Amino acid sequence: MFIRGSVTAVALLAVTLTACGTQQGAGQAARPESPRPSFSPRPLCAQPAEAPTVRPSPTAPSATGSTDGRREQGGDGAPHYAENHAYRMRGSLTPEEGAWGAASAELIRAELEKVREEGGAGEYGRFGEQRIAAALARLGCGEEHGTYIGDGYYSVHTAMVCVSGRVTEDELTTEVHGAYAEPQPGAGPCVENRGGH
């Protein structure tokens, strides 16, 4: 009797576990193709009036290794470098995202150039954070875009890409890149994490 009860219990358990996760019936809604993000997408800012021209991306040469001991695409270097520094990785950009990012960077650069032309740089040739924030706000970029400004550095997420760089009396740079996997806490998605994970 004990064996018959055990066999029945095992059979019932097996049937229950194998049916787990199946959907039956035609009235069931179809499953979404990809999971939804756990955050609300950022609103657009610094967008050009016209869609930019997307240039075909050149074929990337194969990397062998870098001079700082990192392992790149099969090269020799420190083992587990990529795993240990994954928190510093930026998201990749499609050619279309790169084109939109370049157009956004031109708009941002033009607004920041106006700040430089007005003059009034402070210590170490840096401009006040309020002036940089006001320039970005003229393009619709605010706190909701992960804007970070500090020590002559700025970064903003346009809802498509990150545009970051330096703005001082002597220098104005822009760089278009993807958001960081684990950005600097409290600094928005476009600032590299200076610590660890």
| Per-residue pLDDT at 62 | 40
Residues 6 or more apart whose Cβ sits within 8 Å of residue 69: 77, 78, 81
| Per-residue pLDDT at 129 | 94
The three-class DSSP label of residue 105 is: helix
Q: Where exactly are the structural domains of the chain? A: 82-177
Global pTM? 0.66
Per-residue pLDDT tens digits for 121-151: 998 899 999 999 999 999 999 999 889 999 9
pLDDT higher than 60, residue 117: yes
| Residue 3: band (very low, low, confident or very high) from pLDDT cuts 50, 70, 90 | low
pLDDT higher than 70, residue 96: yes
Long-range contacts of 120-127 (CB under 8 A, 24+ apart): 121/168, 121/169, 124/152, 124/168, 125/152, 125/168, 125/169, 125/170, 125/171, 126/151, 126/152, 126/168, 126/169, 127/152, 127/167, 127/168, 127/169
**Which of 16-30, 107-121, 161-175 has the weakest average pLDDT?**
16-30
Q: How many beta carbons lie within 10 A of that of residue 85, not counting itself?
A: 14
| Per-residue pLDDT at 77 | 66
Mean pLDDT over the full length of the chain? 77
| Per-residue pLDDT at 82 | 73
pLDDT higher than 90, residue 98: yes
135 neighbors 77 (Cβ within 8 angstroms): no
DSSP conformation class of 144: G
| Per-residue pLDDT at 65 | 40
Per-residue pLDDT tens digits for 21-62: 555 444 444 444 434 444 456 678 888 878 788 776 554 444
Residues 6 or more apart whose Cβ sits within 8 Å of residue 49: none
Mean pLDDT of 85-108: 90
**Which of 40-54, 82-96, 167-181 has the weakest average pLDDT?**
40-54
| Per-residue pLDDT at 103 | 95
